[in-house]
Structure 1
């Protein structure tokens, strides 16, 4: 592969091509190589990703990843039933927890979204709601500039989630979620991860 064909790719010491954002630290590299873009089809898994995406808003994904263990410990491993039972006292404990991102609105949103996730079970559940918005086609970007930040499907999914009581679910954040859980494949065409999810040929 000629790296000059893809200006946004970095060839690692292992000879593999990754976008620059995934080549800066071992943590981001491992996340990109093993997790980002792979299908997530469990309620707990999607609730965790939805929660982490909401905490990332306005911040770096690297920061969220560094605190992921803290988030999991603080939010009962993102068990929706457990988080749905959090009360004001739990919120105050979270606000005093240095292992997470301490943003009151985002913490309240995660608790609210846990309750919305539990309530949604009677109407098909979070997994079905999210994956029912998978598009018929996926982007085929050669450069980062060719990757959209939102789509008609992310706009529709954001609207559906809001109607179900979820918060912090704007169409741009939801598109990032769709990328992260394999609903769309926005790996650059010459990345070694392109097509790895098995969802898209």
Structure 2
């Protein structure tokens, strides 16, 4: 399926989804498929081919829901009274030589007005991550370079308040050592006008290419170090 862009009507529907109940979503199902899901499938395949060429030959693009396309329905277990549907599309391309859940992954998040990019992973084990980031000459130096290039980027996943033992509180990689389950570097920007055209693939590829060194480090160091 070729990609021609996400049409304005599709983005307008995306903005309305959180206000729908299941009956309302069923009534919009044809529009959902035509305006959002079908373009999403084409986008995954088209951008995936570029990412394989420019960033990593091992990246997998699976143009299915629960593959590279996250489900549009929300998990209500932790928020049973919240909206049933998301206001954004989330895409992922992950390294095929690792289990999807813990593979180094590139992300694109599309909402009605903004676009987000990220590189990250869920750790196969906490010890595996700590062994990798304890060497500040590789880990922190790389993160600092990425953040200099992307001043608006944020790091998610530092869920511990203190640096874990046996590492000292003033360890050069203190912030990274406070990650227990996952790491992600991400940023957002206004949605480009190219979103409605095939050129959106090139726009996203250019942005994700800024994460190439980080993605390679996650894949070759964190994902392979012995726990």
Q: Rg bigger for which structure?
A: 2
More strand by share: 2
Structure of greater relative contact order (alpha carbons < 8 Å, 6+ residues apart): 1
